[in-house]
């Protein structure tokens, strides 16, 4: 019974910390949003509205109340599942986000597959060849990925691979010719086109996805590479690795089965956090490639001061990171029985 009570207390404490984190995140974003110079009323009524119209809309939005009272009403709406209406689109915010989120998930998923595969492989190679030319080459390669501005690499990549070489698609999720040919069922264009049997649309969507996903994957691989190299160097210096080599195990068995097996738990968190960062919406890459995703939606609404949309986006970002951390804890227990 005491063990069950400890588990229950731990679970309750975890839920409490999650609630406090989300509340603090919302509070901080709300009060910063109220200090922004953008005028949401003017965004609704336009520049030529009469003072009477402006005042009417101002009161209807509740902006005449004290800020703390506005925040309390906002929290009450969220608890009941009402996230408000977007000023920019006139649609419920949650519907807007459900519409744009699949595009970002599609992009981020392909990017993290590329980034994790590239980053883990290069990190292991660098650690095994410490202070030799492969290590130096990998470190320079990852340094470029980490330091180069993503909007700059995006524009250069579009000029080279799309405009000059014609190897990949340009901006947007597919060619203009195919827009509207596939019914939106899941929101994931690759899946929807396959379900509809429209292979031309599928290949067009994949062709447009390759370049932005590769750039985001390269950028995230820089961080994953550095962390993998650090973790592997720590393991390769342990006595059990020397013992495995003395016993006659091959280098591949020693590296991948033993040393790499002991860093999987740490890599889970690193890759999960990298994926969470991508899911926030790679704002710059979505802007460069005119990708209609979550990041572009958040940015466009932030500019006009649409706080209903901004606050909901912030809440979703917080939930994503908290969810990925919880997933990391679960995977920890799967990969490392000692943590159960």
CB atoms within 10 A of CB 9: 10
Domain boundaries, the chain: 2-79, 94-339
What fold is seen in the domain 94-339?
MetI-like fold (1.10.3720)
In DSSP terms, which residues pair with 92 in a beta bridge?
A: 85
Residue 114 reports pLDDT greater than 90: yes
Only one residue has tokens 């993998």, namely 228
Tokens encoding 147: 């330091």
Q: In whole angstroms, what is the distance from residue 249 CA to residue 236 CA?
A: 14
pLDDT digits (tens, 9 = 90+) for 35-76: 766 677 776 777 777 788 878 878 877 777 887 888 888 788
Tokens encoding 128: 């095994």
C-beta separation of 228 from 267 below 8 A:
yes
Task: Grade residue 116 by pLDDT with cuts at 50, 70 and 90.
Answer: very high
pTM of the model: 0.82
Query: Which H/E stretch holds residue 212?
Result: helix 199-236
Residue of 331, 329, 320 whose CA lies nearest to 21: 320
Query: Which residues have CB under 8 Å from 211's CB, separation 6+?
Result: 157, 158, 161, 162, 168, 169, 289
pLDDT at site 1: 46
Q: In whole angstroms, what is the distance from residue 306 CA to residue 294 CA?
A: 15
Query: Which residues have CB under 8 Å from 74's CB, separation 6+?
Result: 26, 30, 311
**DSSP-derived secondary structure letter, 89:** T
Is pLDDT larger for residue 123 or for residue 321? 123
């Amino acid at each position: 019974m005491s063990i069950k009570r400890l588990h229950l207390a731990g679970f309750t404490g975890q839920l409490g910390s999650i609630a406090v984190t989300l509340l603090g995140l919302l509070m901080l974003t709300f009060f910063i949003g109220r200090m922004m110079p953008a005028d949401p009323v003017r965004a609704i009524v336009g520049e030529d509205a009469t003072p009477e119209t402006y005042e009417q809309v101002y009161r209807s939005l509740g902006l005449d109340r004290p800020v703390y009272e506005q925040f309390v009403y906002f929290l009450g709406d969220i608890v009941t599942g009402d996230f408000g209406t977007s000023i920019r689109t006139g649609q419920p915010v949650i519907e807007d986000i459900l519409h744009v989120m699949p595009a970002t998930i599609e992009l981020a998923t392909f990017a993290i597959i590329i980034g994790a595969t590239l980053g883990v492989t290069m990190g292991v190679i660098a650690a095994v060849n410490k202070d030799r030319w492969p290590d130096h080459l990998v470190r320079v390669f990852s340094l470029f990925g980490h330091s180069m501005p993503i909007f700059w690499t995006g524009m250069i990549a579009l000029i080279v691979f799309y405009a000059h070489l014609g190897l990949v698609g340009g901006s947007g999720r597919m060619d203009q010719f195919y827009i509207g040919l596939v019914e939106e069922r899941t929101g994931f264009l690759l899946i929807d086109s396959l379900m509809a049997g429209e292979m031309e649309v599928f290949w067009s969507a994949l062709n447009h996805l390759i370049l932005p996903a590769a750039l985001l994957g390269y950028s995230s691989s820089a961080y994953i590479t550095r962390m993998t190299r650090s973790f592997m160097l720590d393991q390769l210096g342990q006595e059990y690795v020397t013992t495995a080599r003395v016993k006659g195990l091959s280098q591949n068995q020693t590296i991948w089965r033993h040393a790499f097996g002991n860093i999987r738990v740490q890599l889970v968190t690193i890759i999960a956090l990298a994926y969470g960062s991508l899911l926030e919406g790679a704002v710059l890459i979505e802007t460069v490639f005119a990708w209609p995703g979550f990041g572009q939606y958040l940015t466009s609404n932030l500019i006009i001061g649409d706080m209903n949309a901004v606050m909901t986006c912030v809440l979703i970002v917080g939930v994503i990171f908290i969810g990925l951390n919880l997933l990391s804890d679960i995977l920890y227990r799967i990969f490392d029985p000692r943590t159960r």
